Structure 1
């Protein structure tokens, strides 16, 4: 089972905590970016929140936190520019900007204001509605059985998470039909346009960053999150092997499917920028 927060809603990564999705991916191997995120983790050293770099840290990455700048492959420099590991490597600064963002740091410390997380949840509901359509279009365009299975599992997960959102909204008195913030609209417009008009390889490039980023955040924070943080289970969910396995399956499709290399790289980086904007938008709106 996915470790669902008892009192907190889920994130904007399209319902990948669903038990049905997880049950199909246990034991799945991972190549590329997924291995890097796991292999560079360490449980040694003092407790220190990610983003709080010690003096002398040349790359600004905190001790004991996987900042993603280590390539698992010995031939990283020669990597196919469309390979998921290389696409991730090219967006490391955006991933680390998300990791160090006060919204994410507040999740780790437990000090994130409830108002910020409420904004995040409400915007997430809008985001998930768009993701159901993007996943459905990707499934329809899948050229092979593996693509059909992966996108089916993702789509099932979205519907399960939407049901969870309804339960959270009822307990919190939240409106799950809010006016989308500009950052939310920009992200959903990008995904839906790509899914409607472009081939499945391009769609996969636009959808993978969300999943890889959240696995990275969870794996980076899990050894640093405060035990008393109300968001602890949120972190543990994205650090889980189950979530990593699903990320690897989608990255496998990204590596297998053809497309225009320039557009694939652009879509991947665009999605990473939009992820950072989503955090910033919730942070700003939650402080109004």
Structure 2
């Protein structure tokens, strides 16, 4: 059977679904130190020796899988995979010669290695919930299931190695001490072996039931988590740039984290959620004519427009906002592009945007579209808000860790802070520091008025500055992090010691670049800091440098600040 020419299939879908674990593995102290080139040889030697245990395990598991597969092509492919593993073992000594490693001293597998290899061999022996043991496999189909399950436990390890190899290629110069390792796992040959493994897995899974595919998925995910635990367990006897929280001893340092909310945390902008609540509320009101016995007493106390009028008004406000916002952004780009970081120029330009934001909010208030919303409905909507994957777990980990001296503040343009508080409260964080606008209520119904706290980029910066001013502890060093996604976050992102841009808008990229702001992937920045680090010194982070760090997911933020 030839290697697969496409990456589509069951195995690839599993990988995409559990991509968080691959990011968490990438951001481990071992991988970052290896990528930087300053990982100590003894630490690398321990890793390579543990890798031998993996190869031995895979060879044994492939042998068991070959016996279970009832398809001749699958058998041939599995035999080929086993031969490749045995060949890797045979050439392992020559592979490590250039590092002068003596693997005979590292013959004992560490606990994380044992945990993973035992899992693979147990799976290959049929010791999976709902699957009979090898001596009790009565039919070829039952054996085929075990073969599929076995490859589900091996495939993620191979793809993870390819992922790490490719991610580290950008740092793999000719003088890199571990160039040979990076070349191996980023090579076409290793990728072909990975794709062949996945291709066999896909073919073995074709006849499985939905329940059996669920079992495969669970095994795949478990294998990926065990791989992550393995990389986390690898000893790194040196200072590392991550996790950041480890660098900040609670008795000496304070870590202050600021985050935007709309689209930084949420999948949908909160203004759209509030508009929808208003329309649904109005529709219920339409069904109860004035004076009707069916009309709730509280609803009759606040007059409001019909649902049809409300929807058309909301659509008009949204259209006007979008058009004027885009014109405002274009006006900010009319001046000559800055040759170097121009913070004052950016701040002046954002003052124009701030005036627009105030006018837009005034229009919303005067339109009465926010009139008559029930506080309970708002809280229920907050509980159901969909946040980006990993966002809530990050804040849960931060707020629930008593060993970290970390304070978290959410700064948002959101019209209704109750919506934000409800969202975090539903995730077990009832005391989140939320700085946003507030609704005014009468008998739990919004009056349509807003207590204006944060409407603009300038307001956000003022809130950011005031919070820091009021929380300074003279005996502690304060490090600030701001996480955001839009133009309105730019000033805070730049003022913070570490500004992290997550899934940024195109307008943020345009405006920031126009005023000389530079962007660098966070992982690349960490590799550079690790590479240039002098043992015993601090890893420096400094605000107003004109440099912002980009990430693609909250998993990266989590790994960087807290650890995997």
TM over 0.5: yes
Q: Secondary structure at the match of 1:228?
A: coil
Q: CA-to-partner distance for each residue in 1:212-259, whole Å, 9 max, x for gaps? A: 111111122212324321111211222222222221111112222234
Work out the CA distance in 2 between the residues paired with 1:160 and 1:270.
27
2:118 corresponds in structure 1 to 189
Is the CA contact (8 Å cut-off) linking 2:62 and 2:81 kept in structure 1? yes
Work out the CA distance in 2 between the residues paired with 1:218 and 1:261.
29
Is the CA contact (8 Å cut-off) linking 1:126 and 1:176 kept in structure 2? no
Match of 1:254 among 201, 221, 242: 201
Match of 1:129 among 53, 56, 76: 56
Gapped regions of structure 2 (runs ≥ 5): 129-145, 239-564
CA 1:177–1:138 in structure 2 vs 1: closer, same or farther (change >3 Å)? farther
Match of 2:162 among 215, 227, 236: 215
Match of 1:244 among 185, 191, 194: 191
1:32 corresponds in structure 2 to 8
2:72 corresponds in structure 1 to 145
Gapped regions of structure 1 (runs ≥ 5): 1-23, 34-82
2:552 corresponds in structure 1 to none
TM-score in terms of structure 1 length: 0.67
Q: CA-to-partner distance for each residue in 1:18-45, whole Å, 9 max, x for gaps? A: xxxxxx967x512327xxxxxxxxxxxx
The alpha carbon displacement at 1:162 in A equals 1.8
The alpha carbon displacement at 1:108 in A equals 1.9
Q: Secondary structure at the match of 2:118?
A: helix
Q: Secondary structure at the match of 2:63?
A: helix
CA 1:85–1:127 in structure 2 vs 1: closer, same or farther (change >3 Å)? closer
Q: CA-to-partner distance for each residue in 1:43-98, whole Å, 9 max, x for gaps? A: xxxxxxxxxxxxxxxxxxxxxxxxxxxxxxxxxxxxxxxx1222011211100111
> Would you tell me which structure has more strand in proportion to its own residues?
2
The alpha carbon displacement at 1:261 in A equals 1.8
Work out the CA distance in 1 between the residues paired with 2:53 and 2:12.
30
Equivalenced residue count is 213
Is the CA contact (8 Å cut-off) linking 1:206 and 1:267 kept in structure 2? yes
Q: CA-to-partner distance for each residue in 1:81-120, whole Å, 9 max, x for gaps? A: xx12220112111001111222112222211111111111
TM-score in terms of structure 2 length: 0.36
Whether 1:205 and 2:152 are equivalent positions in the alignment is yes
Match of 1:109 among 9, 24, 36: 36
Is the CA contact (8 Å cut-off) linking 1:122 and 1:174 kept in structure 2? yes
The alpha carbon displacement at 1:169 in A equals 7.3
CA 1:274–1:200 in structure 2 vs 1: closer, same or farther (change >3 Å)? same
Match of 2:218 among 266, 280, 284: 266
CA 1:167–1:215 in structure 2 vs 1: closer, same or farther (change >3 Å)? closer
The alpha carbon displacement at 1:174 in A equals 2.5
Work out the CA distance in 1 between the residues paired with 2:113 and 2:80.
24
The alpha carbon displacement at 1:176 in A equals 6.2
Whether 1:179 and 2:120 are equivalent positions in the alignment is no
CA 1:176–1:140 in structure 2 vs 1: closer, same or farther (change >3 Å)? farther
Whether 1:97 and 2:44 are equivalent positions in the alignment is no
The structure showing larger relative contact order (alpha-carbon pairs under 8 Å, at least 6 residues apart) is 1
Task: Output aligned runs, 1:80-91, within 5 Å.
Answer: 83-91=10-18
RMSD between aligned residues: 2.3
Work out the CA distance in 1 between the residues paired with 2:12 and 2:63.
25
Work out the CA distance in 1 between the residues paired with 2:96 and 2:180.
18
Is the CA contact (8 Å cut-off) linking 1:200 and 1:257 kept in structure 2? yes
Work out the CA distance in 2 between the residues paired with 1:268 and 1:157.
22
Work out the CA distance in 1 between the residues paired with 2:59 and 2:190.
18
Is the CA contact (8 Å cut-off) linking 1:25 and 1:242 kept in structure 2? no
Q: Secondary structure at the match of 1:283?
A: coil
Is the CA contact (8 Å cut-off) linking 1:126 and 1:177 kept in structure 2? no
1:160 corresponds in structure 2 to 87
